[in-house]
């Protein structure tokens, strides 16, 4: 069974990574069209000298990092709270948040922010994007953490409480350690949805808060260019390397 | 207030201000009239909802359910073994998890373009098939429902794998060994021990995949060649080209209501709460 | 990264201008040259549709100074009090505009906008397409089944159908629109897909033989595959023009005017054409172009050809609703 699973996993990973390999291959293509015309690094040069792409990338990373930390923290606590005590409002709004089409979330937040801005003297900017990202990623975190909590045996927790631990201690020492992998999975998911988001971000971004997906869409929808392949390959390579490195560090 | 009650507050506050309130705005919009150039204007009306009764929109909904349903089922079938593999991977778990997510750090749009390149008549797949003589003419792999489903499965697989992994990860190997020792065949072990334990993960994954698939618009647009309208396309169109925000709001609320209805009936049957 | 960082640092000291434009509408050094010459810093962002831009600026406090709406939005934007009036005394280069853009139908006195680039929709085709298409009705030819595409744009698709029927692209009459709908649904089985700019790669690669496309896309495709051809359909075709405007909310009127005046310079406009293959509204720029571009019939069609074109116009809400419903019906057919 283990061998069968491993073989399957290889096939599954190949499926997942095939487009990525295609992208990477064509990022080294001399021509701007998708026919191979020779090896060239010009698109990487173009990517680095494109201020929109560079700024977009750094904005995206910053936003995703902050939003992930916030939504994971809030989401883990919220999931635990929901697991212990039901809350109709919270469950309902989390459900609905997953059901809402992105364009609706984007438009509703835009209109809502604009109303608020009539009272407070601020504008759309990085802060509105981060708030929007936290808002839509919390539900993902909660769903993943809850899925893990619901397979958990509550008796361990009860035992700790009976033995005199305060609820917050019990959470910190009994639940949290066990949640480790689920939290990793949830934060990975939250980071990804934040980093990759286009529709919602484009609606609530301000003049100075353009993100990488926005920069990419702008270039792509009017006729794609291999500079996008280059930046994508760079990002994946960079983030992949970081992930590998942090894995190594963790295990030491 | 007890710690356990306090836990929910940050999430509740965020959802109240950044979700419920904006949603209230959209609900209000659904009863207003279309402004000439986007935005809304005053006469309150039920027109937008009345328009939705047209059979045209019913057929769009059914079609979307079909495509989203198939995509979700495929995600489950394809994602489950992968999640099992990762959950049993021991030390390398996080690495394999990251490898699932890695392709999704490229831009969504670019991934779709890569698939278009692969599936085109002159694309990689057809070129290989033609070169090896398996087919004599290029297969129409793009611009049809199949391509859309493939794109959806590809785009949402992590959303199925991650919750499944989270639930499976807990799997007590002792339990599995005990079952095997007691003479159960692997298939029975799977059916009676693994599956019930992982059910919450399956439910979670299904929600995270099926609903967004219904609302997807870019994948059906690009991989389907704009030949069909799914609910996501319809709604997207209302907020952009058609500039009919009230109608788009009404359609969204109806979609969300249907989604809630489905989820509610699904959880009632199993007697458990997903959230 | 350091370039962006340096720009960010000095932005605090130099005056800034926020420009929101269509993507691929300036040459790589257009903005940088402006920044250098005037000692300013420009926040330059791009959008891909009018609606996206409108949604941001509708509220009147978006932060943008200069945007580029299409011609049929000028009047509605004026009515919604989104535009700032232009001061011609600060636009000395206005005379460089091509004759027909000096008094455009959507703003005869150029009080509110300055035309920047224009475009037309026509038929892009490969040499293998026989008979070579010359009219919209050729796109209903069954011999192109599965190898042709139309644009994913209701105005353009309905426009082509209306032209085929001999009507105006701005038709609002329900019976005319119903007839156009029938045509579009009849054509659908022949189509491979509804594609916009994505079709460029497919025509170049040979997947698609015949495509409804904007002239700009055709010009770009031709640089890779000179054997491709573009036809301005006989029955007539749609025209649009993107114009520079200053938003009413902007507090940088002088700098905005300086920017518009800079864009009107023949050399700047010529550089944009050379880099992007867009058709500029700047007549003097043409003289500065290399021969191949100057005489390119796609970018600069003969007057007789142009006469068959019809500008898009703003439509009343009832007509817009009807057209949108028809578009949904066509797409779901």
pLDDT at position B11: 92
The interface residues of chain A toward chain B in range 185-224, judged by CB-CB distance below 8 A, are: 185-186, 188-189, 192, 195-196, 198, 212-213, 216-217, 220-221, 224
As a whole number, the mean pLDDT across chain B is 84
Phi first, then psi: give them for residue B244, nearest 5 degrees.
-120, 75
| Residue B21 belongs to a domain | no
**In this structure, are strands C229-231 and C113-125 parallel, antiparallel, or unpaired?**
antiparallel
Rounded average pLDDT over A191-217: 88
Is B98 close to A171, i.e. CB distance below 8 A? no
C238: three-class secondary structure by DSSP:
strand
**Alpha-carbon distances of C216 from A234, C92, C132, C161, C220, rounded to whole Å:** 30, 28, 20, 21, 6
- Helical H runs in chain B? 3-6, 8-15, 21-29, 47-51, 55-87, 93-101, 108-119, 124-131, 145-168, 173-181, 186-189, 195-215, 218-223, 231-239, 245-270
Mean pLDDT value of segment C1-29: 71
With cut-offs at 50, 70 and 90, classify the pLDDT of residue B275: very low
Question: Which of B120, B238, B243 lies nearest to residue C202, judging by beta carbons?
Answer: B120
Residues C281 and C115: their CA atoms lie apart, in Å, by 6
Q: Is residue B31 part of a domain?
A: no
Residue in chain B lying closest to C82 (CA): B37
Q: Report whether pLDDT(C163) > 90.
A: yes
Instruction: Determine the Cα–Cα distance for residues B2 and B262; give it in Å rounded to an integer.
Output: 34
Query: What's the average model confidence in pLDDT over C304-312?
Result: 93
Q: Which residue has the higher pLDDT, C69 or B187?
A: C69
**SS3 (DSSP) at A225:** coil
User: What is the DSSP code string of C166-177?
Assistant: T--TT---HHHH
Q: Which tokens is C243 given?
A: 């114009």
Among B225-229, C16-20, C231-235, the least confident range: B225-229
Partners of C282 in the beta sheet? Answer: C97
Question: How far apart (Å, rounded) are the C-alpha atoms in residues A100 and A89?
Answer: 16
> Alpha helices, DSSP H only, in C24-83?
30-38, 50-57, 74-79
State yes or no: pLDDT of B272 exceeds 60.
Answer: no
Residue B169: pLDDT band with limits 50, 70, 90: confident
C-alpha neighbours within 13 Å on the C-beta side of residue A150: 25
Written as six digits, the tokens of B116 are 């278009």
Q: Does A102 touch chain C (CB under 8 A)?
A: no
C241: confidence class by pLDDT, cuts 50, 70, 90: very high
Q: Does residue B169 fall inside a structural domain? A: yes
CA distance B218 to B222: 6
How many structural domains does chain B have? 1
Question: What's the distance, CA B206 to chain centroid?
Answer: 7
d(C-alpha B275, C-alpha A138), whole Å: 13
Are C126 and C227 in contact by the 8 Å Cβ rule? The answer is yes
Chains that touch C (3 or more CB pairs under 8 A): A, B
Q: Which CATH class is domain A48-221?
A: mainly alpha
Task: Quick: pLDDT tens for C88-100.
Answer: 999 999 999 998 9
Given an 8 Å threshold on Cβ–Cβ distance, is C23 in contact with A221?
Answer: yes
**What pLDDT, in 10s, does the model give residues C55-80?**
888 877 788 999 999 999 999 999 88
> Which of the residue ranges B5-9, B93-97, C66-70 has the most confident prediction, judged by mean pLDDT?
C66-70
What would the pLDDT profile of A24-42 be if each residue is shown by its tens digit?
888 888 776 656 778 888 8
Cis peptide before C131 (omega within 30 of 0): yes
Q: Which one has a higher pLDDT value, B2 or C302?
A: C302
More confident residue, C99 or B117: C99
Contacts of C65 (CB under 8 A, 6+ apart): C17, C18, C19, C246, C247, C250, C252, C255, C256
How far is it, in rounded angstroms, from Cα A154 to Cα A163? 14
pTM value is 0.84
Looking at beta carbons, which pairs linking B257-263 to residues 24 or more positions away fall under 8 Å?
Answer: B258/B61, B259/A99, B259/B211, B259/B214, B260/A95, B260/A96, B260/A99, B263/A95, B263/B207
Rounded to two decimals, the ipTM of the complex is 0.82
User: Of all helices (H) and strands (E), which one includes residue C191?
Assistant: strand C191-194
The interface residues of chain A toward chain B in range 221-250, judged by CB-CB distance below 8 A, are 221, 224, 228-229, 232-233, 235-236, 239-240, 243-244, 247, 250
State which of A96-100, B38-42, C250-254 shows the largest mean pLDDT: C250-254
Residue B148, C-beta contacts closer than 8 angstroms, at least 6 positions apart? B67, B219, B220, B223, B224, B228
d(CA A32, CA A29): 7
Residue of B241, B246, B250 for testing the chain C interface, max C β-carbons within 10 Å: B241
What secondary structure letter does DSSP report for C307? T
pLDDT digits (tens, 9 = 90+) for C205-220: 888 999 999 998 899 8
Q: What Cα–Cα distance (Å) separates residue B148 from each residue in B9, B64, B138, B258, C197?
A: 40, 11, 18, 22, 20
Please report the pLDDT score of residue A29 as a whole number: 82
Residue A236 has φ and ψ, to the nearest 5°, of -60, -45
Helices (H), chain C: 2-11, 30-38, 50-57, 74-79, 154-164, 174-187, 199-205, 215-224, 253-263, 266-276, 283-287, 291-294, 303-306, 317-332
**Structural domain contains residue B20:** no
The model's confidence at residue C3, banded by pLDDT at 50, 70 and 90, is very low
Task: Please tell me the distance from the alpha carbon of residue A245 to that of residue C265, in angstroms, as a whole number.
Answer: 52
Q: What is the pLDDT of residue A162?
A: 87
What integer pLDDT is reported at residue B99 of this predicted model?
87
Q: Which pLDDT value is given to residue B134?
A: 83
Residue C6 clears pLDDT 50, i.e. is over it: no
**Rounded to whole angstroms, how far apart are CA atoms B210 and B259?**
9
Residue C4 has pLDDT above 60, yes or no: no
pLDDT band at B270 (very low <50, low <70, confident <90, very high): very low
Indicate if the pLDDT at residue B188 is higher than 80. no
**Domain spans of chain A, in order of start:** 1-40+229-252, 48-221
Average pLDDT, stretch C296-313?
91
Residue range A139-153: mean pLDDT, rounded: 85
User: Start-end ranges of CATH 3.40.190.10 in chain C?
Assistant: 2-118+240-300, 119-238+306-332
The model's confidence at residue A75, banded by pLDDT at 50, 70 and 90, is very high
Q: Say what the pLDDT of residue A66 is.
A: 97
3-state secondary structure C135-149: CHHHHHCHHHCCCEE
pLDDT grade, residue B174 (50/70/90)? low
Element (H, E) at C66: strand C66-67
Please determine, for residue B39, whether its predicted confidence score (pLDDT) is greater than 80.
Answer: no
Q: What percent of chain C has pLDDT over 70?
A: 96
User: Do the domain assignments include residue B33?
Assistant: no
* Joined tokens for residue A233: 């390959």
Is the pLDDT at C7 greater than 50? The verdict is: no
B40 within some domain: no
Instruction: Say what the pLDDT of residue C48 is.
Output: 78
Q: Is the pLDDT of residue C223 over 80?
A: yes
**Between residues C236 and A34, which one has the greater pLDDT?**
C236
**Predicted local confidence at residue C179, as pLDDT:** 95
Q: Do A12 and B82 touch (CB under 8 A)?
A: yes
Question: For residue A119, what are its two tokens?
Answer: 């009272």
As a whole number of angstroms, the distance between CA C268 and CA A29 comes to 30
C164 contacts C137 by C-beta, under 8 angstroms? yes
Give the C-alpha separation, A184 to A179, whole Å.
Answer: 9
The architecture of the domain spanning C119-238+306-332 is 3-Layer(aba) Sandwich (3.40)
Looking at the complex, does the CB of residue A207 fall below 8 Å from at least one CB of chain C?
yes
**Are the C-beta atoms of residues C200 and C221 closer than 8 Å to each other?**
yes
Task: State the Cα–Cα distance between residues C180 and C172, nearest whole angstrom.
Answer: 11
Model confidence at B176: pLDDT above 60: yes
pLDDT of residue C151: 93
Q: How many residues does chain B have?
A: 275
- Which range of residues forms the domain containing residue B157? 55-228
Max CA distance (Å), chain A: 72
Mean pLDDT of C38-62: 85
pLDDT level of residue A21 (50, 70, 90 thresholds):
confident
CATH of the domain at B68: 1.10.3720.10
Mean pLDDT of the region B64-74: 94
Residue B201 domain-assigned?
yes
C265 against A144, higher pLDDT: C265
Q: Which residues of A touch C1 (CB under 8 A)?
A: 48, 54, 58
| Residue partners of C9: CB distance under 8 A and separation at least 6 | none
Q: Using CB atoms, which residue from A55, A202, A222 is nearest to C52? A: A202
Higher pLDDT, C297 or B274: C297
Topology of C2-118+240-300 in CATH?
D-Maltodextrin-Binding Protein; domain 2 (3.40.190)
Tokens encoding C18: 């926020």
CA angle A26, A32, A33 (to 5 degrees): 80
Q: Judged by CB atoms within 8 Å, which residues 98-127 of A form the interface with B?
A: 98-105, 107-109, 111-112, 115
**Predicted pLDDT at C8:** 44
Q: Which of B190, B175, B203, B205 is nearest to A5 (CA)?
A: B190
* pLDDT surpasses 50 at C5: no
List C-alpha distances in Å: C313 to B71, C71, C75, C235, C245.
42, 8, 9, 19, 18
Q: So what's the pLDDT on residue C10?
A: 47
Q: Does any domain span residue B66?
A: yes
Q: Which of A16, A22, A105 sits opposite B117 (nearest CB)?
A: A22
**C149 and C193 Cβ atoms separated by less than 8 Å:** yes
């Amino acid at each position: 069974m283990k061998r069968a699973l491993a073989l399957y996993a290889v096939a599954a990973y190949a499926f997942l990574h095939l487009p990525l390999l295609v992208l990477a291959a064509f990022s080294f293509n001399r021509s701007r069209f998708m026919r191979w015309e020779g090896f060239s690094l010009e698109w990487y040069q173009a990517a680095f000298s494109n201020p929109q792409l560079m700024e977009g990338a750094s904005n995206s990373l910053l936003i995703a990092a902050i939003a992930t930390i916030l939504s994971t923290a809030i989401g883990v606590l919220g999931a635990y709270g929901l697991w212990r005590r039901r809350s109709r409002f919270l469950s309902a709004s989390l459900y609905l948040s997953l059901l809402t089409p992105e364009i609706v979330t984007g438009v509703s937040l835009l209109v809502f922010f604009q109303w608020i801005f009539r009272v407070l003297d601020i504008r759309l900017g990085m802060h509105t994007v981060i708030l929007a990202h936290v808002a839509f990623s919390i539900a993902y975190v909660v769903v993943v953490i809850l899925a893990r909590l619901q397979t958990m045996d509550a008796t361990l927790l009860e035992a700790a409480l009976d033995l005199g631990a305060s609820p917050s201690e019990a959470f910190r020492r009994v639940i949290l350690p066990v949640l480790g992998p689920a939290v990793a999975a949830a934060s990975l998911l939250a980071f990804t949805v934040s980093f990759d988001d286009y529709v919602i971000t484009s609606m609530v971004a301000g003049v100075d808060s353009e993100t990488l997906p926005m920069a990419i869409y702008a270039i792509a929808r009017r006729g794609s260019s291999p500079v996008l392949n280059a930046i994508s390959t760079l990002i994946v390579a960079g983030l992949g390397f970081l992930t590998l490195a942090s894995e190594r560090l963790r295990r030491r | 207030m007890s710690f356990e009650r306090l836990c929910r507050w940050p999430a509740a506050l965020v959802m109240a201000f950044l979700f419920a309130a904006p949603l209230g705005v959209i609900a209000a919009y659904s009863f207003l009239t279309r402004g000439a150039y986007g935005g809304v204007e005053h006469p309150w009306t039920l027109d937008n909802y009345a328009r939705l009764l047209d059979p045209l929109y019913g057929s769009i909904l059914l079609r979307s359910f079909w495509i989203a349903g198939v995509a979700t089922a495929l995600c489950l079938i394809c994602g489950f073994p992968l999640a099992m593999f990762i959950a049993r991977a021991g030390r390398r778990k996080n690495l394999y998890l990251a490898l699932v997510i890695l392709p999704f750090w490229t831009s969504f749009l670019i991934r779709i373009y890569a698939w278009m390149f692969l599936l085109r008549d002159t694309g990689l797949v057809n070129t290989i098939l033609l070169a090896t003589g398996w087919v004599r003419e290029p297969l129409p792999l793009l611009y049809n429902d199949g391509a859309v489903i493939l794109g959806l499965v590809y785009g949402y697989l992590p959303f199925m794998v991650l919750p499944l992994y989270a639930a499976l990860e807990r799997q007590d190997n002792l339990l599995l060994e005990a079952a095997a020792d007691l003479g159960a065949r692997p298939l029975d072990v799977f059916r009676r021990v693994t599956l019930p334990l992982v059910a919450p993960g399956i439910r979670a994954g299904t929600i995270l995949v099926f609903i967004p698939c219904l609302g997807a618009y870019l994948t059906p647009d690009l991989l389907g060649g704009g030949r069909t309208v799914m609910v996501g396309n319809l709604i997207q169109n209302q907020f952009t080209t058609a500039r009919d925000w009230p109608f788009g709001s009404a359609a969204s609320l109806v979609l969300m209501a249907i989604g809630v209805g489905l989820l509610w009936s699904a959880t009632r049957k199993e007697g458990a709460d997903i959230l | 990264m350091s370039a962006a960082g340096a720009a960010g640092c000095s932005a605090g000291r130099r005056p800034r201008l926020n420009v929101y434009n269509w993507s691929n509408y300036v040459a790589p050094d257009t903005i940088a040259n402006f920044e250098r010459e005037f000692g300013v810093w420009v926040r330059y962002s791009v959008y891909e549709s009018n609606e996206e831009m409108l949604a941001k600026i509708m509220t009147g406090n978006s932060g943008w100074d200069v945007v580029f709406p299409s011609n049929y939005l000028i009047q509605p934007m004026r009515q919604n009090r989104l535009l700032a009036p232009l001061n011609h005394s600060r636009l000395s280069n206005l005379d460089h505009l091509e004759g027909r853009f000096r008094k455009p139908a959507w703003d005869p006195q150029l009080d509110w906008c300055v035309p920047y680039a224009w475009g037309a929709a026509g038929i892009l085709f490969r040499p293998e397409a026989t008979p070579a298409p010359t009219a919209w009705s050729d796109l209903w030819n069954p011999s192109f089944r599965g190898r042709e595409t139309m644009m994913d744009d209701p105005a353009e698709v309905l426009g082509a159908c209306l032209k085929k029927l001999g009507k105006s692209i701005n038709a609002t009459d329900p019976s005319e629109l119903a007839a156009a709908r029938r045509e579009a649904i009849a054509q659908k089985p022949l189509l491979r897909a509804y594609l916009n700019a994505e079709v460029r790669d497919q025509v170049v690669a040979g997947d698609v033989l015949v495509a409804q496309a904007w002239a700009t896309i055709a010009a770009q495709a031709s640089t890779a595959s000179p054997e491709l051809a573009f036809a301005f359909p006989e029955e007539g075709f749609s025209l649009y023009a993107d114009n520079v405007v200053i938003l009413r909310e902007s507090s940088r009127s002088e700098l905005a005017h300086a920017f518009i005046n800079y864009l009107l310079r023949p050399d700047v406009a010529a550089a944009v054409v050379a880099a992007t293959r867009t058709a500029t509204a700047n007549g003097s720029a043409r003289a500065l172009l290399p021969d191949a571009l100057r005489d390119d019939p796609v970018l600069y069609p003969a007057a007789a050809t142009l006469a068959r074109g019809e500008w898009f116009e703003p439509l009343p809400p009832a007509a817009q609703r009807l057209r949108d419903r028809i578009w949904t019906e066509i797409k779901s057919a």
